Every structure is written in structure tokens, then in C-alpha cells.
Structure 1
């Protein structure tokens, strides 16, 4: 599930035109069903939620971006998943200051924490594993546009996609597992699809490695001011899957 969830988040991270955040507000909640193809049958495996909230510090009010993946109870005996990804960012720019990732999959547990210093272009990282109480601290250098995976996921919604030509692409960089990863996102045009929220016009995007022409995932974003992910299809080495929206509340527009 770690690879599945990473693919779903990773595909949502296009940086085409820089912009201030006018799409994501406090108190938003998006709920999805994550499905996986097993032996030719698509099974609803887990629920994925994406929530935003305000967090006040001594210096500012930050926007907390939280994503959770939880297997449905009938799958827990097969492979129990309780994953958490969260990022604390500037409400205006979505620039990250703190990132937290907690993995609990089939008994395997790991936690990663990033503390960003944008002035020095460095990130202090702390990685721990429950087994043997293992801990490792490391400071890594990053580029000026590098973000964590969650803040990158939400950043796409700040961009103006209305006048892009089909085939327009852009490379971008995220920090994942303490390494910078580069990918290419290509705009494929507009398409209307049926969802749990009704028929919706969408911006369609494809994502793959920046070093190849392979498409690893496709994402449909609502073609409105919110630009929320409505549907996604992804590939992993052991199969394929889908992400389908169930509900959306607290939208800014």
C-alpha cells in the first residue's frame, strides 16, 4: 500500500504556473475509495481521506494538510494499513515547514519527520522504526522549489490550467524517503466523467518519470476553482488500481 499511496499522491504534483493559493481553505475534507485489481477483479481496499485545518503557532497560523489511508475492516486480517501523511504549510503559498509521515502496514511501522529551512535550503530529517527502536537523523540539501509530497499534492490546485495546450509538460521535484525525486507531468486536455458527485468536467493529467516516457498514473481534477482530485488510475509493479471520490465538504468555492 505504501507504493500505491505514493503513486496516488505523486501523480498529483504538477507545477506548471506559479501562483498564490486561492483554492484550498481551512476545514475541507475529501473522502475516497482506493481500489486494487486482484486477479482481474477490482476490489475496494481502503478509504483515503484528505483534510485541512488551521494550526496556530507563536508566530503564525499554518494550514495543516492531512492525508490518511485505512483499509476496510474486512481486509485488516489480510493486510492492515493505517498510514498518515501530513504537512504544515503557509496558507498563502503552501510552502512547507514541517512534514510527518507514519507508516503502519502489515505490522511494519516507520515514522519520518522533516523540518524545512528554506533560507539554508536544507531539511533536518528524523527517521524511526519501532522494531529495535531504530533511529536516524540526517540533514539533506534541497532545491529552492523542492517540497514534501503532501504540500506538492495540494500545490497543483493553485495553478491556472484553463489555457494550457494538450501535451504541455513540466518536471518537478519532491523530497521522498529523504531523497529528491524528479517527475514529469503532462496535461492531456479536458474530459467529462461520472463521479459520486455527479458528472464533472475535469482537467486530465498524466505522470511519469522525468527520465522516461512511461505513464505511471493518470489523474482527473475538477475543472473549477477548487480543482479537487476526482478520479485517479495508477500502475505499480504488482498491478493496477483506482482512486474514486466519495464525498467533498468544506470546499472554498
Structure 2
């Protein structure tokens, strides 16, 4: 397999926002750690790279204010993504992803995307009806004024890809054993998916801020010719009051793609390096 500039950037994007599609399953009643809350104003910056080359940057920002959407008071998270370095010269990416979700359940109320990826553009809004299991999708291409309105079935209690990551930050991992599976339902574009994750326990994650004690997980991936190894994708979440994603690593047939936290601000506490 040859991994060119475009494929590397797309792979990095898929890893950062990736979901695994297997059809609907029964979502577990996931145990929550009620002591975990999010610090409004928190900003996390990640860089995705392949080998020694940086390919993309994503900035995740939790707004300082609550926002009323569809009659509900919501957190608002913006994710700005862009291609950088030599890869940015080969394919321009300027994406904005937004999620408005319930502060208590973390379930999304609305999800938006404003996409520019090379010659591909998209403006999309998804309104989630969690009670009736419906997703109302409005979308259009930037070079075409025609607006499309569609409605799809989804499993009640479904997440978008952003709120799903925030949900993982709130789980009570003391109730999980190494090898346990975490299942959540998600909705993406025009279809519902089931997202299965294996909990791999606690380990020290190597970051630019030092070795940080973390929970480590791996999404279950379908068989394919892109990834390599038993757990080809892993991600680490800090085992502290912040519960922030620190790193994502994907083992490809041709090498590893990494997404690393490079800057942060607005955390409850400064990240603490492990003593050993």
C-alpha cells in the first residue's frame, strides 16, 4: 500500500474522529463517575503526524457559556481542524465541527459541520431527537444553493463523534476490568452505528508534558488492509480530574500515525507527570 499526502491526511482525520460501523447493538448502561465535570473554557490542541512529518492540527474548545439549542441548555464544543506542513500544500483542509450536548447526559442535541477538504465542501446540521430515535439532517454543498432535508432512524441515546469522546471522559473506569467492552451508539451523516471499545487498563502515556498515568482503550476495528496488530488503534485519557485525551496512535501496515496533545489551557489542574 502506498500512503500519499492525501491518504495520510484523511487517515489522520479518520483516526481523530473515527467510528467503527457494525450496525445497531444494545447500548450498555454506562457507569458514570459523578465527580468528573468539564471546565468551560478548556482548550486542547492536537497535532497529527506520520513518521517525522506533521499532517494536521485540531483545536478542541469548550465554550465558556451554555447555549440554548432546540429549547435545551447545552455545552458547545468547537473543533477546528486544518492540514499543516508539507501535507497542507498538497491538500487544503479547513474544517469546523460543532456539538451541542446535554451537560448531564452528554447526549447531543445538535451537531454541525462546515467542511473544506481539497475540492470537497459541505455544510451540515443534524438535530437529534433522542426520545423518538430520529436524526433530522440538513445539508448542502457550498457551490450549490440547493438545501437537502432528510430524516433517519437512529438508536435512542445516540452520540455524535464529539459528544462520544466527552462521554468517555466521564466513565467510572474503576468498574471496568482489563478486556471489558464499552458499547455506545452513534450517528454519522445518514446512518446509525455501534461503537465498541475495549478497555485495556491503566498505563503511563508518553507525552511532551512527561509520562502521564492514563486509561487506555482501543476501538474494535473490522478486518481491513490498512491497520496492523491486535489493537491497531489506541487512545489514552488522563487518569486525573481533567480526564483529557492525551494521545491517539494507529498502527498501519506502512507505519504509525499519531495524534498528540501539544498545548492545553483552562484545565482544572495542571497535568502531573508520573514519578516513575
- TM beyond 0.5: yes
1:128 to 1:216, Cα distance in 2 relative to 1, 3 A? farther
Tell me the CA shift for residue 166 of structure 1. Answer: 0.9
Other structure's SS at 2:147 match: strand
Runs of 4+ in structure 1 off by over 4 angstroms are 210-214, 235-240
CA distance in 2, matches of 1:240, 1:133: 40
Please, what TM-score do these two structures have when normalized by structure 2? 0.79
CA distance in 1, matches of 2:202, 2:85: 36
Tell me the residue number matched to 1:245.
Answer: 261
Tell me the CA shift for residue 163 of structure 1. Answer: 4.3
Larger mean Cα displacement after TM superposition, 166-175 or 210-219: 210-219
Query: 1:194 pairs with 206, 212, 223, which one?
Result: 206
- 1:117-136, Cα deviation, whole Å (9 max, x unpaired): 22322111012112444532
Q: Does 1:207 align with 2:219?
A: yes
Tell me the CA shift for residue 237 of structure 1. Answer: 8.7
Larger mean Cα displacement after TM superposition, 105-114 or 21-30: 21-30
Would the aligned equivalents of 1:182 and 1:210 in 2 still touch at CA under 8 Å?
no
Aligned-residue Cα RMSD (Å) equals 2.8
Other structure's SS at 1:120 match: coil
Tell which has more relative contact order, 1 or 2 (C-alpha 8 A, sep 6+).
1
- 1:157-192, Cα deviation, whole Å (9 max, x unpaired): 110113421111122221112211223200111111
Other structure's SS at 1:202 match: strand
Query: If each structure's strand is expressed as a fraction of its own residues, which one has the higher value?
Result: 1
CA distance in 2, matches of 1:146, 1:128: 23
Q: Which runs of 5+ in 2 are unaligned?
A: 1-8, 21-26, 270-276
Alignment: residue pair count? 248
Please, what TM-score do these two structures have when normalized by structure 1? 0.86
Q: Does 1:136 align with 2:148?
A: yes
Other structure's SS at 1:162 match: helix
CA distance in 1, matches of 2:28, 2:254: 29
Summarize the alignment of residues 35-54 of structure 1 with structure 2, pairs less than 5 Å apart. 35-36=49-50, 41-53=51-63, 54=65
